[in-house]
Amino acid sequence: MKICFLITGLGIGGAERHLFNLVPKLKFNVFIISLSNNNDFGVEIEQKGIKVYYLGLNKINLPLVILRLIKIIRAEKPDVIDTYLIHANLIGRIVGKILRINKIICSIRNDYSHFKILNFLDKVTQNLVDLYILNSKSLFDYVHKHNHVPIKKIKFIPNGIDLKRMYGKLDKNYDIRKELSLEKNSFILISVLRLIKDKNIPTLIKSLKYLDKNIFLLIIGDGTQRENLLNLSRKLNLNDNIFFLGKRKDVFNIVNSSDVFILPSLREGMSNALLEAMALKKICIVSNIPQNRELIKNRFNGITFSPLNERELAEKIKKVYENKNLEALSQESFNLIKNKFNIKIIFKSYENIIEAL
C-alpha cells in the first residue's frame, strides 16, 4: 500500500512534528508533499529515507502548484492521500477525487470554525473525504456537530512521542543557565510555542510582574507577534527576566534543564510541546481549555489556570516555586505519555485504521 501525506508546510509545528515522528515508522510505502517550501522538518525526514516534494506555494502561484501536485500524484500513484492542515485538507481532497485516489483521509489538528471562508469550504467539500482522523477528542464537536461529519467517518489518534529518540538526544550535563549567564539557583520557566495571538503569550508575560526576580521565562519559537511581545516585555520592565530564544534545535535540552513548562494557549489541537515536556518529567502549568485538559488533570499530573487570568497564573507559578518537591505530578505525566502516547502505540493504531479502511 502506498500513502501520500500532503501537508501545507514542514515548518515548526505540531502537525509537522507528528509526521516526523510517525511516517518513518510505518510499514507502508510512503512519501510526503509539502505545498510550501517551509522546511524545518523536511531535511530530517528525508534523512530517514522518506521522499519529500516541495511545491513552493505562495500568494500568486496556486494554479501552478495544483498542476505540479497533480503531476506528482499521477506519477506516484498512491492508494491513500492523508492531508494535514486546512489548505492541504481542501486542495488534497479535491485533487484526490479528480484523480480517483482510492481513499482520502483528512487529519484534523485544530478547530477552524473561526476562519469563516475556509470553514465554509471545508463543510461543502466534506463528502469528498472517506475518513477524518482527530488528534484530540475535544475536536469532536467541531467536526461532528459543527461541520456535520457522520460519526462513522471519525477516528481518534493522538500525537505520539518517540521516547527512545528524545532521551537519546539529551545532554544531561547541559544547563541553559550557563548559556544565559544566570545563577545556578535561578528558577526557569519555559514555553515552546508559535508567537501568535492564539497562544496567549501576553498573559504569561504579565504574570511575571507578580513574581520573584529570581524567576526567569524562556520563550522558544517565532511568529507574527514577536515584536509586540518584545515591546510588552520592555514596557513592563521585564526584559531582564524574559529571554526570546527564537527557533532552536536543542529544545529537548533546554526544556530538560528548566523547572516548569507553561502553555497559556487560548486554542490548541494537541500540543506536541506539552507532550514532550510531560515526557521529560517537567511540572506543567497549562491553560484550562478542553484540549489541555485531555492531558493535564489539575493537581494530579499538573496544574491548570484560567486562560486570561495573569494573577492566577502567577499564584500557580509561585506555589511551584515555593514547593519544588512535586515529583509525583511529573511522574504521573511521564506515566501517561509512556502508556498512552508512546509513538509505538500511535503508529500501530494508524496502521490498523489504514488496513481496515
**Secondary structure of the chain: what % helix, strand, coil (to 5)?**
45, 20, 35
Residue among 230, 257, 266, 268 at smallest CA distance from 246: 230
Question: What confidence category does residue 343 fall into, taking pLDDT thresholds of 50, 70 and 90?
Answer: very high
Give the model confidence (pLDDT) of 177-235 as tens digits.
999 999 999 999 999 999 999 999 999 999 999 999 999 999 999 999 999 999 999 99
> Helices in the chain by DSSP H: which ranges?
14-22, 42-47, 62-76, 86-98, 116-124, 140, 163-169, 176-179, 201-207, 226-235, 251-256, 272-279, 290-293, 310-322, 327-340, 343-356
Query: Which residues, listed in sequence order, are joined to residue 277 by a DSSP beta bridge?
Result: none
Residue among 303, 298, 288, 301 at smallest CA distance from 341: 301
Instruction: Beginning with the edge strand found earlier in the chain, give each strand of the sheet holding 154-156 in spatial order.
Output: 51-54, 29-34, 2-7, 80-84, 103-108, 131-134, 154-156
Residue among 91, 81, 102 at smallest CA distance from 35: 91
3-state secondary structure labels for all residues of 271-335 = CHHHHHHHHCCCEEEEECCHHHHCCCCECCCEEEECCCCHHHHHHHHHHHHHCCCCHHHHHHHHH
Give the model confidence (pLDDT) of 104-137 as tens digits.
999 999 888 888 999 899 999 999 999 999 999 9
Specify the pLDDT at position 342: 94
Give the model confidence (pLDDT) of 257-294 as tens digits.
999 999 999 988 889 999 999 999 999 999 999 999 99
Residue 220, amino acid: I
Specify the pLDDT at position 49: 92
Specify the pLDDT at position 40: 77
Specify the pLDDT at position 228: 97
**Position 39 pLDDT exceeds 80:** no
Sign of the alpha-carbon torsion through 16, 20, 21, 26: positive
**Position 12 pLDDT exceeds 80:** no
How far is the C-alpha of 137 from the C-alpha of 150, rounded, in Å?
15
How far is the C-alpha of 30 from the C-alpha of 26, rounded, in Å?
8
Domains of the chain: 2-160+343-356 (3.40.50.2000), 164-340 (3.40.50.2000)
**What percent of the chain lies above the pLDDT cut of 70?**
100
How far is the C-alpha of 8 from the C-alpha of 16, rounded, in Å?
9
**Position 325 pLDDT exceeds 80:** no
Query: Which residues, listed in sequence order, are joined to residue 263 by a DSSP beta bridge?
Result: 286
Specify the pLDDT at position 4: 98
**Position 324 pLDDT exceeds 80:** no
Query: Does residue 137 contact residue 163 with C-beta atoms inside 8 Å?
Result: no
**What percent of the chain lies above the pLDDT cut of 90?**
84
How far is the C-alpha of 295 from the C-alpha of 346, rounded, in Å?
16
The C-alpha cell that represents 41 in the structure block: 522538518
Question: What confidence category does residue 73 fall into, taking pLDDT thresholds of 50, 70 and 90?
Answer: very high
Specify the pLDDT at position 135: 93
Specify the pLDDT at position 20: 87
Residue 197, amino acid: K
For cell 506516484, the residue is 76
Average pLDDT over residues 65-85: 97
Task: Let me know how long the chain is.
Answer: 357
Q: Higher confidence at residue 15 or residue 68?
A: 68
Looking at every residue in the chain, the average pLDDT score rounds to 94
For residue 115, how many other CB atoms are within 10 A of its CB? Answer: 13
